[in-house]
Amino acid sequence: MLSPHQGNMLGIARKAILPFSLSLILAAALAFSLAISATFPLEVRAQTQTEDEQTQTQTQTQTEDEQTVTAIFNERLTTGEMYYLLEDLCKNIGPRLSGSEGAERAVAWAKEVMEGYGFDRVYLQEVMVPHWERGDPEQVRIVDVEGGMIELRALAIGGSVPTAQTGITAPVVVVHSLEEVEELGRDAIEGKIVFYNRAFDQTVIGTGAGYGGAVGQRAAGPSQAAKFGAVGVVIRSVASNFDDAPHTGGLRYLAAVERIPAAALGFQSADRLVRVLEEQPDARLFMHLSSKWHPDALSHNVIGEIRGSERPNEIILVGGHLDSWDVSEGAHDDGAGSVHAIGVLRTFMKLGIRPRHTIRAVLFMNEENGLRGGIKYAEVAKETGEKHLIALESDAGGFSPRGFGASVDDDVLERFRSWLPLFPQNTISYINKGGGGADIGPLRRETGTPTIGFIPDSQRAFDYHHAPTDVFEAVNRRELELGGASIATLIYLIDKYGLKDEMAQ
């Protein structure tokens, strides 16, 4: 940039030169123009002009996209509408495990919300779901110790069978893996309660890896212990924090193995049990669970959509699961994903974005203990020949957005990554290869539909996951709405440009 002094000097110089050189400048310009005309044929000049027009059009399109993305984020952040919708779900509906009254009230609630927003089509999709109830509060305590007994905080693992009405009391054997149970064998395990004491790996940065490393003891631990004659199982909760709130979750009983009761201990309770057993190896554990299985119940996936203006038979799905575990409000898991899905359609309508493809929000039932909603949706889609362009799921909480994972072809992945500059700083910064969600997994397997998973910041996710602390107060309004805006932005770009060039024509 020129200083004022330099500018003045340049102006003086121009005035001095102009009378003598103007004719030379004009002559040179004319000669250059004639030279260009002679050098480039007419069709090349026409092509150059067309390319210039294309560049200008691309710049205008980019500006339009930037404006739309800004409008999406502004809408979500200023209104906080999905945050207050989540509050309504959490506080007025509450826990909603499949088969429960809470789940059915959630179905009616979601349908009413979508109809109230004026979506083009809102409907229920029937699905039969498992129905398990926890029963009376769990009792787990250390007995036969100095001082009498020590109460531990525990929750039955979802799907556990009950103990006898009088409970069970047995010695405890401590293990750290499924393999260790097999190594110890029947002589060490039979007649005892197996305590799986594998802790969440605190050295991992992405906490999903810590969860994945420890969750096997919850899912498969009971049947593994039962193979060798155990009478019950307790586990250290699969959680990243250090409080004493126990975390529930699902288990998988093997068909040919006796079913034994299983419970999860809070972190501090697990530590307490470890210390007692180190000092008093003969201490025993008492467990009383009153859980119960009922016949399958009729429930529903809740579906709402905005019909596409150009490709109405091609569906872009955005979803979350409506059910939650019975011990909490299910705010992060997965109330957040449910309002994210609704919020995409709501935002499009409020901003006047008329999609080319049909945008469908699906609130799946029974992700937590059966996946029946996702399986039923995929079955119907395959039977009816529905074409899904892509499916996105939000089921990792209402935390700050960080990225997406996409199970798509490499060229599609590069297209997605080319859109990263459109996302505001400190929101979406990467799109990984590989991703989806539990509920949309069956759709991918049955129809080959590409899938995307929303990836928020994970550092607090397993503090709340499947725990009584997963309540509305644990959700930050800005983080929730930033996530919703990020998802809406990606859906907008996919709808506008398609997955490949031929789909964007």
pLDDT of residue 164: 97
Is residue 415's pLDDT more than 60? Answer: yes
Q: What pLDDT score does 159 carry?
A: 98
Average pLDDT over residues 23-27: 35
Alpha carbon distance 484, 318 (integer Å): 11
Question: Where in the chain are the domains?
Answer: 61-130+294-504, 139-290
Residue 206 pLDDT: 95
Res. 147 pLDDT band, cuts 50 70 90 = confident
421: number of Cβ within 10 Å: 10
pLDDT (mean) for 359-388: 98
Q: What is the average per-residue pLDDT within 162-185?
A: 98
Query: Which pLDDT band, with edges at 50, 70 and 90, does 58 fall under?
Result: low
- How far, in whole angstroms, is CA 96 from its chain's centroid? 18
CATH 3.90.550.10 fits 139-290, yes or no: no
pLDDT in tens, 444-473: 999 999 999 999 999 999 999 999 999 999
On the question of pLDDT at 383 being above 60, the answer is yes
pLDDT in tens, 176-225: 999 999 999 999 999 999 999 999 999 999 999 999 999 999 999 999 99
How far apart are the C-alpha atoms of 29 and 45, rounded to whole Å?
18
pLDDT of residue 26: 33
**Rounded to an integer, what distance in angstroms lies between the CA atom of residue 269 and that of residue 288?**
16
Mean pLDDT computed over every residue of the chain: 90
Q: Is the pLDDT of residue 310 over 70?
A: yes
C-alpha 72, offset from chain centre: 20
What band does 52 get if pLDDT is binned at 50, 70 and 90?
low
Q: Do domains 61-130+294-504 and 139-290 have the same CATH topology?
A: no
- Residue 111: how many CB atoms within 10 A of its CB? 18
Say what percent of the chain tops pLDDT 70.
87
275 contacts 249 by C-beta, under 8 angstroms: no
Which range, of 7-11, 358-362, 367-371, 378-382, averages the lowest pLDDT?
Answer: 7-11
Separation between Cα atoms, residue 130 and residue 372, nearest integer Å: 8
pLDDT score recorded for residue 394: 98
Backbone CA torsion sign across 326, 327, 332, 333: negative
For the whole model, what pTM was predicted? 0.87
- The span from the CA of 208 to the CA of 200, in Å, is 10
Residue 65 has pLDDT above 80, yes or no: yes
Banded pLDDT at 61 (limits 50, 70, 90):
low
Task: Return the residue matching tokens 């899904």.
Answer: 388
**pLDDT at residue 398, rounded to an integer:** 98
pLDDT band at residue 505 using 50, 70 and 90 as cut-offs: very low
pLDDT confidence band for 43 (50 / 70 / 90):
very low
* Burial tier of 46 (Cβ tally within 10 Å: 0-12, 13-18, 19+): exposed
pLDDT of residue 20: 35
pLDDT for res 249: 98
pLDDT of residue 36: 31
Q: What is the DSSP letter of 91?
A: I
Question: What is the 3-class SS of 200-252, one letter each residue?
Answer: CCCCCCCHHHHHHHHCHHHHCHHHHHHHCCCCEEEEECCCCCCCCCCCCCECC
- pLDDT for res 501: 77
Q: Residue 150: exposed, middle, or buried by beta-carbon count in 10 A (0-12, 13-18, 19+)?
A: middle
Q: Could you read off the pLDDT of 236-291 as tens digits, one per residue?
A: 999 999 999 999 999 999 999 999 999 999 999 999 999 999 999 999 999 999 99
Q: Above 80 in pLDDT, residue 349?
A: yes
pLDDT value of position 63: 86
CATH topology of domain 61-130+294-504: Aminopeptidase (3.40.630)
**Could you read off the pLDDT of 72-81 as tens digits, one per residue?**
999 999 999 9
CB 301 within 8 A of CB 338: no
Average pLDDT over residues 388-408: 98
Q: Would the pLDDT of 10 be above 90?
A: no
Residue 56, pLDDT score: 59
Contact 333, 250 (CB under 8 A): no
